[in-house]
Structure 1
Amino acid sequence: MLTVKQQIEMSKVVAILRNVPLDRLPRVMEALYDGGIRVAEITLNSEYALDGIRVMRKTYEGRMAIGAGTVVSKENVNQAIDAGAEFLISPHVDERIIDAALSRSSTPIPGALTPTEILRATAAGAPLVKLFPCTTFGPGYMKELLAPLNNVKFIAVGGVTAPLAASYIQAGAIAVGAGSGLVSHADVMTHNYTAITSNARELVRHIESSD
């Protein structure tokens, strides 16, 4: 059985689902799956996020890795894991969150931007680091970071588009996180699931072209 880290490395995409209504979440997830996405996070600052994680984990068991995003406290860690989250993504570095996740055999993925933050995250035991907000400095910045920090496994997150995704993979990221560019609020509210599948396929296509 693949670890979460292996699943993310194989998928190269983490879909970020924020504020997707619970009654539309199954169709959104189906659309993403049809588009080739195999890893998704549901952010905890969304209404009914824990219910969404619980239902989607049960629905996609063995087919798709389901995690929690915007994990900002130890309480969030326990709530998300209890709901079935397989990995925990944070916007920042907090050793208490990393420790709490590891103590429950979950995968913490803290957000970091500077070399100091990145090394704090890895020193605390984080196997993956979310480079956030990555587009502030671009793929070149990440490539520069990887010169001295070549053992760090980066997921590039923050304003990533399909063309940019390929650039980050080419620069050394193991994966990218995609949010509104993949699942827009307008498409969700108008039930335009075909557009979500199309966005997913386009993103996957760009990433595969970077290999």
Structure 2
Amino acid sequence: MTELTRSGLVAIIRGTDRDAAAAAALVLFEEGISCVEIALTTPGAFEAIEKIRRQLPDGAWVGAGTVLTAADAMDAAAAGAQFVVTPGVTESIPAAAGLGLPVLAGAFTATEAMDAMTRGASAVKLFPASAAGPGYLSALRGPLPSIPFIAVGGVGLADAPGFFRAGAVALGLGSPLVGDAATPAGNLASLRTRARQFIQVVIDEAAAR
């Protein structure tokens, strides 16, 4: 996914309300984060994806996360999702790939990462990245340099530079970025601030290369 590697960030929205999730996604697009994932654990997730697609800015992508089954993949495609994300190596990977959707497949070990790519993944979501740290990602990339890795799971602002320097093509950001924004009482102003901070990390790391 060219847009993913260009932007360097995927926002992961796991909310409590479909309208709040959609509102948070649109704020992130306004701030310059162009890839947003709506987790299927969000009530009304498919409706939220449909709503976002109707207001999607040029160059922005909305995807479905926590896609576990072939049926999930089909429902995500029907809702207008442009990519899917899985928490592990699941049947949804070949199903989504067969529908023409890029797949960010969850994996933790080298064996899982290779299996995910064989099944049709476009990139591997190293999850949970915070459990192993940047050094582990660097070690994985040694024998697997052709696999694009996205670091996901507990990656905070202070951790972000280390994962980029270890070779992550992007970061997947849940609560460290989204916070409470995908709830009815969520603070969208604070979401804007955090989005700008993470975008600045991407800019700084790109300039340092």
- Could you tell me the TM-score, scaled by structure 1's length? 0.92
Distance 1:156 1:198 in 2: 21
Say whether 1:42 aligns with 2:42.
no
Percent of counterpart pairs with the same letter? 34
Matches of residues 65-84 of structure 1 in structure 2 within 5 Å? 65-84=61-80
Identify the residue that residue 194 of structure 1 maps to in structure 2.
189
Check conservation: 1:31, 1:193, Cα contact below 8 A: yes
Equivalent AA in structure 2 for residue 207 of structure 1: V
Which of 136, 141, 145 does residue 141 from structure 1 map onto?
Answer: 136
Say whether 1:93 aligns with 2:52.
no
Distance 2:149 2:175 in 1: 20
Matches of residues 1-211 of structure 1 in structure 2 within 5 Å? 5-94=1-90, 96-185=91-180, 188-211=183-206
CA RMSD, Structure 1 to Structure 2 (Å): 1.5
Check conservation: 1:187, 1:196, Cα contact below 8 A: no
Change over 3 Å in CA distance of 1:186–1:101 after alignment to 2:
closer
Change over 3 Å in CA distance of 1:117–1:35 after alignment to 2:
same
Tell me, what secondary structure is at the counterpart of 2:88? coil
Change over 3 Å in CA distance of 1:20–1:31 after alignment to 2:
farther
Tell me, what secondary structure is at the counterpart of 1:199? helix
Question: Is there any run of 5+ residues in structure 1 with no aligned partner, and where?
Answer: none
Change over 3 Å in CA distance of 1:30–1:102 after alignment to 2:
closer
Question: Is there any run of 5+ residues in structure 2 with no aligned partner, and where?
Answer: none
Equivalent AA in structure 2 for residue 173 of structure 1: A
CA positional deviation for 1:20: 4.3
Check conservation: 1:167, 1:210, Cα contact below 8 A: no
Equivalent AA in structure 2 for residue 136 of structure 1: A
Distance 1:120 1:165 in 2: 26
CA positional deviation for 1:207: 2.0
CA positional deviation for 1:188: 4.0
Distance 1:91 1:187 in 2: 20
Equivalent AA in structure 2 for residue 170 of structure 1: R
CA positional deviation for 1:6: 0.5
CA positional deviation for 1:61: 5.0
Q: Which runs of 4+ in 1 moved over 6 A?
A: none
Distance 2:69 2:57 in 1: 26
